[in-house]
A = this chain, B = another copy of it.
Amino acid sequence: MKRISFRDVGLIYTFDSRNDPVAHVAAGDTVVLDVEDAFSGKITAKALAEHAEDVPFGNPIVGPIFVEGADVGNTLSVFIKDIRPATGRGITYLSQFTANYLTSVPIFEFMKVELPAHPRICKIENELIYFSDKITIPYRPMIGTIGVTPLPEAESISSVLLPGRHGGNMDIPDISRQSTVFFPIFQKGALLYMGDAHAAQGDGEISGEAIEMPAEITVELNVIKEKINWPRIETDEELMSVATTSAARGLEDAIRTSFMDLSMWMERKYDINRFDALVLLSQVGKIRIGNLWTAVAKIEKKYLE
């Protein structure tokens, strides 16, 4: 079983086809990745805000992994076997990023006000996160940033800001243990990257920071000879289609896009046409908001089987 550690291959901050693969794997292989936390491991003491300037950029990722037989137009499947905390703790706080996240206009700068940091370092043990003396949170680990290398005309995309058809910083809690994530393949070998593990994260990740942790992630990789347009997720119970906002698509349109994709997936996979599928989704569909630029449309498979 192949093991890839950020300590060996370094921290990368973009999904980029020009980086040399850190590993070549065959379809069906299982890989273990050691990923650093979203702060590049630079925040190690309680006084988080003081160290904020040491953080180079957010969300270092490990990769790219070249998957043999993965051709342009295929689909990469990533089955997540496990996500384990590497140091037994996670970190969160309010940052300048939160200020920009609570409102997308520069009102903090215009009004000359600042958000207080409210930092926390949380112990993680026995499937529990110790948020404070009083509050304990279940350990619900997930991969915040995962994706393949985008179309060559956009040869590198930031691991922080721009989720899209390639995946990226989607922050979807369903990308968790025992789920399978599918990506459209834009470059030979798929060139998978991942990082930004969260011990837990709320919908919308409203402060911009989850319980950020270094982690050991175990995944099995496969190639499917079909074409998809957007990332999809499957668990034992659910089918999910992802769509993201972009320069010209707000969250309403991302939701609509994800439901249209899910309708077309249901049409292809089950004996139901896209319009009936849409009518059914209007009754039993669910929406998950990852971060504020990522929408997930869901349906439980029991309705279709």
Answer yes or no: A224 CB below 8 A from chain B CBs.
Answer: no
**Apart from A56-B153, A135-B304, what are 13 other A-B pairs with CB-CB below 8 Å?**
A103-B105, A111-B113, A153-B159, A163-B247, A202-B282, A202-B283, A204-B259, A204-B285, A207-B278, A207-B281, A209-B279, A244-B247, A250-B251
Cross-chain contact A92 with B207 (CB below 8 angstroms): no
Whether the pair A210, B282 counts as a contact (CB closer than 8 A) is yes
**One of B105, B158, B163 near A260 (C-beta < 8 A):** B105
Q: Give this chain's copy count.
A: 4
CB distance from A42 to the nearest CB of B (A): 14
Residues in B with CB closer than 8 Å to A283 are 92, 129, 131, 137, 200-202, 210-211
Nearest 9 CB-CB pairs, A to B? A202-B285, A57-B153, A207-B282, A104-B249, A247-B293, A154-B158, A203-B287, A251-B251, A156-B156
Residue among A102, A109, A162, A260 with the highest chain B CB neighbour number at 10 A? A102
* A51 contacts the other chain (CB 8 A): no
Q: How far is the CA of A73 from the CA of B260 in the complex (A)?
A: 34
Across the interface, A94 reaches (CB within 8 A) one of B163, B248, B279, B286, namely B279
Chain A 180-205 near chain B by CB (<8 Å), digits 1 or 0: 00000000000000000000111111
A293 to B104, CA, bound (A): 14
Is B162's CB under 8 angstroms from A158's CB?
A: no
A256 touches B113 (CB 8 A): no
Flag whether A6 is at the interface (Cβ < 8 A): no
Question: Residue A10 at the B interface, CB < 8 A?
Answer: no
Give the nearest-CB partner of A93 in chain B.
B279
Of A11-19, A22-30, A63-71, A231-239, the segment with at least 4 beta carbons within 8 Å of chain B is A11-19
- A104 touches which one: B111, B154, B248, B264 (CB < 8 A)? B248
Nearest neighbor of A116 in chain B, beta-carbon distance: B275
The B-contacting residues of A in range 204-251, CB under 8 angstroms, are 204-211, 229, 244-251
Tell me which residues across on chain B come within 8 A of A4, comparing CB atoms: none
A1 at the interface (CB under 8 A from B): no
